[in-house]
Amino acid sequence: MSCLNQDVMDGLVTSVDWTKGQTAAATDVFLNAMRVANSDSLLDSIGTQMTVAAKVFTVTGGASGMGLAACRLLAQKGARAISIGDFNDKNFENVKQELNGINPDTAVETTQLDVSNSAQVAAWIDGVVTKFGALDDSLNAAGVPQRPPQSSGPSVLEETDESWRRTMAVNIDGVFYCCREQVRAMMTLPSAPRSIVNIASMGSFLHSGMMYGYGTSKSGVVHLSANLAQNLRPFNIHVNTVCPGATDTPMLDTFIPPSVR
């Protein structure tokens, strides 16, 4: 189930409730967020098929979880090409085979990518545009969880400089680097409605010692996206945010162990 603010066309913050065993709700909202960027209404009759068909997408974190679920939907809807950037490359071949099985006409490209490295991000996006001659829409879903508390004491005292910086580097710096390079590429292409959807989290709005670092980073994504939306709308580039609740992906184990779900 999702809650969409239909009064805001850019900077849309969408919440998604927990969907146990699947990520369909979150990824369906991703497609709705793209439709907001490319039409005058969420109720636009063209639906997601024409929004996705024959377009080129980049997806960070696309080898697992919500990123992979989004790639499945993009293939089902007829995407021309999907370029996946993910730090973990162990599942790349399986992902390619699965997506090619869904739609053999969708070109699937995988790149090992550390989104916290701006040079890697720039090279990846440049390579996509060079290869496909286009970049229509992007989903920035890569993220890392906060290290869970190890004691009953104040969790802030357990946070190391290294773990704090890693959370911020991936979850907020990485989104910024990706957005910057995606916008740079989109501005070189012929004018057309284009969209960027950033995955934040309901943790952006929750107060918990278990996720204060994670929530802080995701709050930054919400704020960044809203400001980018205002800045980029005159250029026909639309930025929206999806804030999933607890969704049954591998990252959920960090916050809610399977034994207590």
Per the annotation, the verdict on 214 as an active-site residue is yes
Region 140-148 average pLDDT: 88
What is residue 243's predicted lDDT score, i.e. its pLDDT? 84
Region 100-117 average pLDDT: 98
Region 32-38 average pLDDT: 51
What is residue 92's predicted lDDT score, i.e. its pLDDT? 97
Q: What span, in angstroms and rounded, lies between the C-alpha atoms of 167 and 72?
A: 27
What is residue 219's predicted lDDT score, i.e. its pLDDT? 94
Higher-confidence position of 53 and 44? 53
In terms of Cβ atoms closer than 10 Å to its own Cβ (0-12, 13-18, 19+), residue 244 is buried
Please say if the pLDDT value at position 90 is more than 50.
yes
Of these residues, 55, 77, 177, 218, which one is catalytic?
218
What is residue 182's predicted lDDT score, i.e. its pLDDT? 99
- Which residue ranges make up each domain of the chain? 2-260
> Model confidence over 157-180: pLDDT tens digits?
888 999 999 999 999 999 999 999
Higher-confidence position of 209 and 89? 89
pLDDT-derived band at 244 (thresholds 50, 70, 90) equals confident
* Overall CATH class of domain 2-260: alpha beta
Q: What span, in angstroms and rounded, lies between the C-alpha atoms of 14 and 32?
A: 10
Single out the residue of 219, 120, 111 nearest to residue 174, CA to CA: 120
Of these residues, 55, 77, 177, 214, which one is catalytic?
214
Q: State the chain's mean pLDDT as an integer.
A: 81
Per the annotation, the verdict on 177 as an active-site residue is no
pTM of the model: 0.81
What is residue 156's predicted lDDT score, i.e. its pLDDT? 86
Region 71-79 average pLDDT: 93
- β-sheet with 13-16: strand ranges across: 2-3, 13-16, 237-244, 194-199, 137-140, 56-60, 81-86, 107-112
